[in-house]
Amino acid sequence: MTSAFLGNPRPTVTLYKGDVNITANSKFWCNSTSSVCTIVIPTCTLKDSGEYSVLVEKELGKDRSGCTLTVYGEG
């Protein structure tokens, strides 16, 4: 999942699954460059289904972009 943003100086970017902050770990891989934030779930399971969002914040304001991920079972 990828989200693009603009800001100078660079804004603070926070990733969420539902209301839970996502950090890079063995389950999620996150990368944020100067204008693009990407989250990768190398091995998706049914439990990974849900609402994901990116919160971009600066002193003058904030904005959120989101999507729904649906993982289907085998078959």
Cα distance between residue 11 and residue 51, in whole Å: 22
User: What pLDDT does residue 19 have?
Assistant: 93
Q: Domains in the chain, start-ordered, CATH in brackets?
A: 2-69 (2.60.40.10)
Residues 50-62 have a mean pLDDT of: 92
User: What confidence tens digit (pLDDT) does each residue in 10-54 have?
Assistant: 888 899 999 999 887 778 888 877 788 888 888 889 999 999 999
Say which residue the tokens 């890079």 belong to: 24
CB proximity list for 29: less than 8 A, separation 6 or greater: 39, 40, 41, 42
pTM: 0.81
Q: Cα separations (Å) of 72 from 10, 20, 27, 46?
A: 36, 22, 18, 7
